[in-house]
A and B are shown apart, each in its own frame.
Chain A
Amino acid sequence: MSTPDIAPDAARSAHPVPVPHAAPDARPLVALRLVVNNHPGVMSHVCGLFARRAFNVEAILCTPVNGGEVSRIWLLVVDDERLEQMVRQVRKLHDVLDVRRQPAGGEAFARLADCMAAWESETAG
């Protein structure tokens, strides 16, 4: 799928074109590190927000911390011009206690993918 042309006067727009799901390697990736309250609805709040605003999440990882009171979520997302808006929207979620942006080469997630592959092969058969 090709990116729609940006109309000349769209330069004035804050978000010229909704970026269609870009191939993960087409744009730099960034990791968002969230600290959230740990209860069953939190994942819906976080993932639903990204889905509603048509922002794709490339990878996701969630683990409890501090004995399970809170969780830490890592989201790997494409670093495009709408990211700042997404981060501001995430900050508004009442179950999200902290949001940080960290540069991500993707290696960490690649290692995780290896890890998952290992789990899957261990448990297969």
Chain B
Amino acid sequence: MSAHSQSTAGSGIAPGAASTPRKRQPNGADFVIRLLERQGIDVIAGIPGGANLPLYDALGRAGSIRHVLARHEQGAGFMAQGMARVTGRPAVFFATSGPGATNTLTAIADAKLDSVPVVCITGQVPLGLVGSDAFQEVDIYGMSIPVTKHNFLVRSVDELAEVIPAAFRIAASGRPGPVLVDIPKNVQMAPVDQAVFDNPPQPGLPAPPPAPDPADISRAAMLLNAARRPMLYLGGGVVASGASDMAVQLAERAGLPTVMTLMALGAMPAGHPLSLGMLGMHAARHTNLLLAECDVLLVAGARFDDRAVGKAERFCPDATIIHIDIDESELDKILPVHCGITGDVGLALAELLPLLRPRAEAGREAWLTRVEECRRRHPFVMPGAEDPRTPYGLIRCAADAVDHDAIVATDVGQHQMRTAQAYPLRGPRRWLTSGGLGTMGFGLPAAIGAALARPEATVLCFTGDGSLQMNIQELATAAEEGVNVKILLADNNALGLVRQQQELFYEGRLVASGYRVKVDFARIAEGFGVPAVDLDASEHPLRDLADALRAPGPCLIRVTVPAEANVYPMVPPGADNLQMIGGEPEPADAAANPDEDAATTSATAPGGRHVHA
């Protein structure tokens, strides 16, 4: 592949080195690359600098791993996340000491909150200088403790054989997460015995997933079998444990209406008769209404984030809660659960499945009829879905133009919430969004990473003008690598989601949420070497959209959307999930609904109820 040889050669630091016969004694850096090869790593994103030059030199000499030169270390971190999120396997990124290392922190914190297995390898000043405020020295070990699952400062070259496999094992075991390995330059340069080099340790693999306690499983089965209005609540852990199919089977067997967190979207395919989509702050009205009615809630691989459950004390007030999670500290953390099950979600669901009474026997029809009735009465409204020049239409029309295996990344803002609401995801590991940290700037580099790991797929990146500007430099990386990333920009020249909160909760005082300069994103993209399509100017927007999505390689597609268009329904931050604002099909209908009156107390959106009022 030309991009490959180009990028490896492009990082060639010493042109003469390639011709040097490989008889020199290997050093720590060579050993690290060797260990990464053995972990199956074939792409690394990163940026070189003084303190990690030996690693780059070793990478260039080995020639076995493709390097993708990011334009910012945060971008490199999100590229690694993109790879890890679509494959489920740990991905690696490199940064130098000091500013290179501090630039990685946001991407690492993001991986921590969304339980994504990545390994960040930073160069550090030589050990002898550590603690002396040397040039480009920061204590990245200390700084990354709160945002990593675990981290290492390698103090001697002898530790590498243990630390590198351990980093991968820890990143991928149990609840996955980011691991940082800080390697001082002298450790990278220290000689490694040829015998050690030739007999590297086994690669670090995930520990076998912990099995749940059978007694807990039977208790859960009893509760579910006795339930009259049970529901299933899927979180990101279901995707992480590869349990999506199992979850769908279980829901089908027992007749469980199913909701998903932002992280779990795709675990049950959109359009499945039992799927009620995403719960929480921007859920369809019927989803939150039905949750409040359920009597037994089976929560799998989720952590009761406040954006999902709203005010925790009022969440599913009448429900007995069964909670399965691989991380014991999540049980009873936010809500006391009646039946806590520690273990791998996939194993737990597989054991639970045969113990559940089949749907017909369990007498679920009344409940499922109620679910359908509520869904009909409080449908999700998606104005403009047919027109690619509206906020929802851009998402729906793009989805129609690509196949079911397309990967979907988002940035953070209104466009993200709309994509979560409207994009029909058909399976797991195709949905990349910054859920826990909500990091603007995630989308483009994560999409690049996904495309690197899945070159055959089309990767859509739904973004906003604010978010895109946070890692816009990665357009150059996209162009250089020729990745199949389609950036779909809903340009409202505003920090739309912030503006929305100011409109709804700060009496319409718009402070610092609109831009005064209008950026010409099409020209910017072209300047970076990425072709652009402006749907505003298009005579046949649907056709131009489809053509742009079909052409190979990166592309930016932009459309102007109104800054006043809010995302509804919306639960105000801190409120319970029944306090939904907006999103009714017809204002008159909604007012006539008795149960709705009780639910929607308040704060009617000044901007009206419809996205295009």
Contact = CB atoms under 8 A, between A and B. Distances in A.
A41 B141 contact: yes
B150 A14 contact: no
Nearest to A88: B329
A69 to B, nearest CB: 14
Contact of B328 (A13, A39, A52, A88): A88
The 10 closest A-B pairs by CB, nearest first: A88-B329, A12-B313, A94-B150, A9-B313, A13-B313, A14-B332, A14-B336, A89-B329, A88-B328, A48-B145
Interface in B147-190: 149-151, 153, 155, 170
Contacts of A89: 329
B327 interface: yes
A92 B170 CA distance: 11
A85 interface: yes
Contacts of B170: 94
A48 B334 CA distance: 21
B115 to A, nearest CB: 12
Contacts of B336: 12-14
A23 to B, nearest CB: 26
B333 interface: yes
A91 interface: yes
A14 B332 CA distance: 6
Contacts of A13: 312-313, 334-336
Contacts of A91: 328-329
Contacts of B142: 41, 44
A45 interface: yes
A51 B334 CA distance: 19
Interface string A75-108: 0000000001100110111110000000000000
Interface string B206-220: 000000000000000
A84 B313 contact: no
16 contacts: A9-B313, A12-B335, A12-B336, A13-B334, A13-B336, A14-B332, A14-B335, A15-B333, A40-B153, A44-B145, A88-B328, A91-B328, A93-B150, A94-B150, A94-B170, A95-B150
Given A9-B313, A9-B314, A48 B332 contact: no
Interface string B309-343: 00011100100000000011100111110000000
B146 interface: yes
A48 B142 CA distance: 10
A81 to B, nearest CB: 10
Interface string A8-52: 011111110000000000000000000000011100110010001
A118 to B, nearest CB: 32
Q: Tell me whether chain A's interface is mostly helix, strand or loop, or mixed.
A: helix
Interface of A: 7, 9-15, 39-41, 44-45, 48, 52, 84-85, 88-89, 91-95
A92 B327 contact: yes
Given A14-B334, A48-B145, A41 B153 contact: yes
Contacts of A94: 149-150, 170
B329 A10 contact: no
A86 to B, nearest CB: 9
Contacts of B332: 14, 84-85
Contacts of B149: 94
Contacts of B313: 7, 9-13
A50 to B, nearest CB: 12
Given A12-B313, A41-B153, A52-B146, A85 B141 contact: no
Contact of A85 (B155, B312, B329): B329
A4 to B, nearest CB: 15
Interface of B: 141-142, 145-146, 149-151, 153, 155, 170, 312-314, 317, 327-329, 332-336
A27 B142 CA distance: 32
A109 B14 CA distance: 61
A10 B146 CA distance: 28
A11 B335 CA distance: 10
A35 to B, nearest CB: 17
A49 to B, nearest CB: 8
Nearest to B317: A12
Nearest to B150: A94
Nearest to B337: A14
A76 to B, nearest CB: 22
Contacts of B151: 41
B206 to A, nearest CB: 14
Contacts of B317: 12
A73 B398 CA distance: 57
A70 to B, nearest CB: 16
B333 A85 contact: yes
A52 B148 CA distance: 13
Given A10-B313, A91-B328, 20 more contacts: A7-B313, A11-B313, A12-B312, A12-B313, A12-B317, A14-B312, A14-B332, A14-B335, A15-B333, A41-B151, A41-B153, A44-B145, A52-B146, A85-B329, A85-B332, A88-B329, A92-B327, A92-B329, A94-B150, A95-B150
A68 to B, nearest CB: 15
A91 B329 CA distance: 9
Contact of A14 (B314, B327, B328, B333): B333
A43 to B, nearest CB: 11
A39 to B, nearest CB: 8
A92 B336 CA distance: 20
B420 to A, nearest CB: 27
Nearest to A11: B313
A89 B312 CA distance: 21
A94 to B, nearest CB: 4
Contacts of B314: 9, 12
A58 to B, nearest CB: 22
Nearest to A13: B313
Contacts of B312: 12-14
A98 to B, nearest CB: 16
Contacts of A15: 333
Contacts of B145: 41, 44-45, 48
B85 to A, nearest CB: 22
A78 to B, nearest CB: 19
Contacts of A10: 313
Contacts of B155: 39
Contacts of A12: 312-314, 317, 335-336
A67 B317 CA distance: 54
A65 to B, nearest CB: 21
A44 B153 CA distance: 13
A11 B170 CA distance: 36
A12 B316 CA distance: 11
